[in-house]
Chain A
Amino acid sequence: SQELEQSPQSLIVQEGKNLTINCTSSKTLYGLYWYKQKYGEGLIFLMMLQKGGEEKSHEKITAKLDEKKQQSSLHITASQPSHAGIYLCGADHTGGFKTIFGAGTRLFVKA
Chain B
Amino acid sequence: DTGVSQNPRHKITKRGQNVTFRCDPISEHNRLYWYRQTLGQGPEFLTYFQNEAQLEKSRLLSDRFSAERPKGSFSTLEIQRTEQGDSAMYLCASTPTSSSPLHFGNGTRLTVT
On A, residues with C-beta under 8 Å from B are 1, 4, 6, 31, 33, 35, 40-45, 48, 50, 88, 90, 95-104
Contact = CB atoms under 8 A, between A and B. Distances in A.
B48 A41 contact: no
B4 A42 contact: yes
A107 B97 CA distance: 31
B81 to A, nearest CB: 26
A103 B101 contact: no
B104 A96 contact: no
Interface residues of B, number: 26
Interface string B91-113: 10100011101111111010000
Given A101-B43, A103-B40, A104-B41, A42 B48 contact: no
Contact of A96 (B98, B103, B109): B98
A22 B86 CA distance: 30
A45 B99 contact: no
Nearest to B3: A42
Given A42-B107, A43-B93, A101-B43, 10 more contacts: A1-B44, A41-B106, A43-B102, A95-B98, A96-B98, A97-B48, A97-B98, A98-B33, A98-B56, A101-B35
Contact of A101 (B42, B48, B107): B42
Given A31-B99, A90-B102, A96-B99, A43 B91 contact: yes
Interface of B: 4, 33, 35, 40-45, 48, 55-56, 89, 91, 93, 97-99, 101-107, 109
Contacts of A101: 35, 42-44
Given A31-B99, A88-B42, A101-B43, A43 B33 contact: no
Nearest to B10: A40
9 contacts: A1-B42, A40-B89, A40-B106, A41-B106, A43-B43, A45-B102, A88-B42, A98-B33, A104-B40
A96 B99 CA distance: 5
